[in-house]
């Protein structure tokens, strides 16, 4: 339709220019029929945080990254942050009640009432159920990338020790194989001046990446099933670099959230 074409054209101009389009697309109808937030799922390295941030900026809604919320809380001088630091120093995972308390506080702020994009949470069905008791979730985007490409992408990540910018040395060009789709992702090399200052994080070593993926697959399957049963899960296979992926991704999102309401469920409390 003309409305859809305008929406997608604006989205593409935004991605290419990194600026808001002169005419923003109609946001509220796309953020869940009747209101609600979106959740972005996917393994570490698939780019869910990057895409969530870009789309949230394009639609002028808050992007809520659970990891950022936890890190910000740890920096506070409160009894709760002290308890969290003690647990972290012992190498223990933060309990769900603490995580949910932090998230609930953020979701209660005026800018997040009704519309938001959340990534990095939930990771367990119990967390998904708790989230559904707090807010209405109208869409869950499940981002996928074939494993060999994901491993190459994660192990290719580099950080400049001086400026702190992130780059990726992996040149992913994998043909279709054994039912897996072709994936093409050019490298994102560092500029002159950063080449000799590249560092790789310890958790981007191949054995760590593979172990992390195995844990993710085990934990994520029940969460995906929970949202699939609710009728709000949308699977999306990442096949290439940012610009073409964003265009196809926005097309997929538009088609889902503008479908007939009676065909969709809702994860709500």
Model pLDDT for residues 167-209, shown as the tens digit of each residue: 999 999 999 988 899 999 999 999 989 989 999 988 899 999 9
Q: Between 79-89 and 66-74, two packed helices, what is the crossing angle to 10 degrees?
A: 110
> 240, 107, 98, 251: which is closest to 181 by C-alpha?
240
What does the buried/exposed string (b/e) look like for 37-67 if buried means 16 or more CB atoms within 10 Å of the residue's CB? bbbbbbbbbbbbbebbebbbbbbebbbbbbe
- Higher pLDDT: 122 or 115? It is 122
Read off the pLDDT of residues 207-219 as tens digits, 9 standing for 90 and up: 999 999 998 999 8
Task: Give the start-end residues of each E strand in 182-232.
Answer: 183-185, 198-199
> Residue 261: which pLDDT band, with cuts at 50, 70 and 90?
low
**Residue 168 β-bridge partners:** 157, 188
Q: What is the pTM of this model?
A: 0.80
Read off the pLDDT of residues 12-59 as tens digits, 9 standing for 90 and up: 444 444 443 334 444 444 554 446 799 999 998 898 999 999 999 888
Tokens matching residue 138? 């109208």
Helical (H) or strand (E) element with 255: helix 242-257
Rounded Cα distance between 118 and 107, Å, is 10
Read off the pLDDT of residues 81-115 as tens digits, 9 standing for 90 and up: 888 888 877 767 788 888 999 999 999 999 988 78
Give the other-Cβ count within 10 Å of 149's Cβ.
23
> Residue 10: which pLDDT band, with cuts at 50, 70 and 90?
low
pLDDT at 260: 44
- For residue 268, pLDDT beyond 70: no
């Amino acid at each position: 339709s003309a409305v859809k074409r305008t929406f997608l054209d604006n989205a593409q101009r935004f991605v290419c220019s990194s600026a808001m389009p002169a005419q923003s697309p109609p946001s509220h109808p796309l953020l869940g029929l009747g209101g609600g937030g979106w959740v972005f799922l996917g393994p570490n390295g698939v780019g869910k945080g990057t895409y969530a941030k870009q789309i949230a900026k394009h639609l002028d809604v808050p992007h809520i990254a659970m990891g950022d919320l936890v890190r910000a809380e740890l920096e506070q001088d409160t009894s709760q942050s002290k308890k969290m630091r003690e647990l972290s120093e012992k190498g223990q995972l933060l309990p769900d009640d603490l995580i949910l308390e932090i998230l609930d506080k953020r979701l209660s702020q005026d800018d997040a009432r009704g519309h938001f994009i959340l990534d990095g949470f939930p990771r367990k069905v119990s967390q998904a159920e708790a989230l559904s008791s707090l807010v209405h979730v109208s869409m869950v985007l499940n981002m996928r990338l074939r494993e060999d490409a994901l491993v190459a992408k994660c192990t290719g990540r580099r950080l400049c020790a001086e400026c702190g910018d992130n780059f990726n040395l992996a040149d992913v060009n994998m043909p279709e194989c054994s039912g897996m789709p072709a994936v093409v992702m050019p490298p994102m090399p560092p500029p002159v001046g950063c080449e000799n200052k590249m560092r790789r994080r310890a958790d981007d070593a191949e054995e760590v990446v593979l172990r992390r993926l195995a844990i993710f697959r085990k934990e994520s399957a029940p969460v995906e099933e929970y949202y699939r049963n609710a009728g709000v899960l949308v699977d999306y296979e990442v096949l290439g670099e940012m610009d073409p992926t964003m265009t196809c991704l926005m097309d997929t999102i538009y088609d889902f959230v503008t479908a007939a309401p009676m065909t969709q469920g809702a994860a709500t409390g």
